[in-house]
Structure 1
Amino acid sequence: MSAITHAMVLAAGLGLRMRPITLTTPKPLVSVAGRTMLDRALDHVERAGIDDIVVNTHWLADTVVEHLAGRGEITISHEPDLLETGGGVAKALPHLGHSSFYVVNSDIIWTDGPVPALARLARMWDPNRMDALLLLQKVEGAVGYEGKGDFFLDAADVPHRRGEAPSAPYLFSGVQVLHHRLFEGAPEGKFSLNVLYDRAAQARRLFGLVHDGNWYHVGTPEALPEVERLLSP
Structure 2
Amino acid sequence: MLAIIGGSGLTQLSNMENVRREVARTPFGEPSAALTFGRMCEAPVVFLARHGHGHTIPPHKVNYRANIWALKQAKVEGIVSVASVGSIRADWPPGTLVVPNQIIDYTWGRESSFFDGVDTPVRHVDFTRPYDEALRQRLLCAATVAGDSAFDGGVYAAAQGPRLETAAEIDRFERDGAELVGMTAMPEAVLARELELPYAAINVVVNYAAGRSSSEHGIHFDDIEVVLQESMVRVRAVLECLCRV
TM-score scaled to structure 2, two decimals?
Answer: 0.30
TM-score scaled to structure 1, two decimals?
Answer: 0.31
